[in-house]
Amino acid sequence: MKILHTSDWHLGRSLYGNKRYDEFTAYLEWLGETIKKEQIDILLVAGDVFDNTTPGSHAQELYYRFLCRIAGCNCQHIVIIAGNHDSPSFLEAPKELLKIINVHVIGNVAENIEKEILSLDNKNNEPGIIIGAVPYLRENEMRKPEAGETFDDKNQKLKEGIANHYSAITKKALEIKNNFKKEKKKNIPIILMGHLFTAEGKTTDGDGVRELYVGSLAHVKAGIFSDCVDYVALGHLHISQKVGKKENIRYSGSPLPIGFGEAKQQKQVIIVEFPEVIDYDMKITEINIPCFQRLELIKGDILKIQKRINELENDDEKVYIEIQYTGDDVIANLKEKVDKLTSGTKLEVLRIKNKQFINIALKQNKQEETLDELTEEDVFKRCLNANEIPEEQQKAFQPLFSEVMNRITSNKTK
């Protein structure tokens, strides 16, 4: 039996307002072909199918079209859990209808934990695998608030609630496994699915992972997963990684780079294979996902930016670019310079961050000092100093500032 583990599709997500439906379409087409080529029996989607709780019609169309396509191939089952970006009720609304094509959706935490446990048949119509499909566990589901609780109290109770839930799921799954082993003399694997943040999990800047809790709250340890579980398929973190250096506890990561911070990551899906024998040996394979839209993050001064843009232009490839200007000189017309460099090329600059015009703050000498007490020139000088503009450049900017102020003053008097 072969299982493919993926997560964090974030269908419908845009990149600085730029729609990415072509990328999502390309990924789902690739995934469908991979499922056929690798003869996958079960597809696991570990949460964050959509990017928000009210996905648009185009995102929904991609989702349902894909499910119908996979239902018509060799894949026997699809198991989907809700992530923190998903609406549990939205995912579960067509649940009974999707069961007809062997798509199993778990959006909400069930009062009866057995509803989160799936015994799925193999090609011989016998139980072939047990899956504990645990959706994203929200704080109000895992603990009851009490008067006088400290932050540490909430933290500990939430972690205990999550650990207890997984423990109960595992205990019931093991009971089902042992009963089947006793009756059929056959060993079947147990898989857990989850959407959570594990302690020491790796993230990147701008990866889109929304921290719903402060600090380490709800960051659980790998120890909550019992050794009797054969594989743990996780979602939420966008970097493909092992948890606690354990081969069988993994995040598949997001299939597309969610932001420019993920531009250099090699995206993957995970294939887990269990031979049809009593004492099985699990095989784990990482499959690299092609890049469907190249992203490039350029950091540096104007010379470095110019050089990298020229290199990308020579590649003659469509590239989305984010520029982070970190030079010492203040360049007021940076956008115009970049537009000129990329004009007539396949390069598309989606965002420009000019360090010299970010976080401009007034350095106040007195705590009680207010903006009303400062002249326009005072504010201008403090902005220059706050951004550590060299003295020579400050002298050059002074006549320009005076000219701007003269124009503003003259316009007010008209």
Are 277 and 388 in a shared domain? no
| β-strand partners of 192 | 132, 232
Is there a contact between 241 and 276 (Cβ–Cβ < 8 Å)? no
Last residue of a domain, one of 242, 270, 288: 288
Count the domains in the chain: 3
Is there a contact between 387 and 360 (Cβ–Cβ < 8 Å)? yes
Are 324 and 366 in a shared domain? no
pLDDT at 187 over 90: no
pLDDT above 70 covers a percentage of the chain that reads 87
Are 110 and 199 in a shared domain? yes
Task: Give the separation between CA 165 and CA 361, rounded to whole angstroms.
Answer: 48
Is there a contact between 153 and 159 (Cβ–Cβ < 8 Å)? no
| β-strand partners of 5 | 44, 270
Please give the model's pTM, rounded to 2 decimal places: 0.82
82-106 confidence digits (pLDDT tens):
999 999 999 999 999 999 999 999 9
- Cα-Cα end-to-end distance for the chain: 81
Are 241 and 104 in a shared domain? yes
Are 352 and 388 in a shared domain? no
**Domain coverage including residue 134:** 2-288
Are 324 and 406 in a shared domain? no
Are 34 and 153 in a shared domain? yes
Q: Which of 85-89, 152-156, 363-367 has the highest mean pLDDT?
A: 85-89
Last residue of a domain, one of 273, 288, 303: 288
| Lowest mean pLDDT, pick from 63-72, 361-370, 375-384 | 361-370
Last residue of a domain, one of 313, 328, 358: 358
What is the rounded average pLDDT of the residues 172-187? 87
pLDDT at 411 over 50: no
Task: Give the separation between CA 296 and CA 261, rounded to whole angstroms.
Answer: 9
| 251 band by pLDDT with thresholds 50, 70 and 90 | very high
Are 382 and 337 in a shared domain? no
| Lowest mean pLDDT, pick from 259-268, 306-315, 340-349, 397-406 | 397-406
CATH of the domain at 324: 3.30.160.720
In total, the chain counts a number of residues equal to 414
Task: Give the separation between CA 21 and CA 10, rounded to whole angstroms.
Answer: 11
Are 49 and 79 in a shared domain? yes
276-318 confidence digits (pLDDT tens):
765 667 899 999 999 999 999 999 999 999 999 999 999 989 9
Are 240 and 340 in a shared domain? no
Coil, strand or helix at 122: coil
Are 326 and 270 in a shared domain? no
Are 23 and 132 in a shared domain? yes
CATH of the domain at 103: 3.60.21.10
What pLDDT, on the 0 to 100 scale, is given for residue 358? Answer: 55
**Listed residue (49, 37, 50, 56) closest to 78, CA to CA:** 49
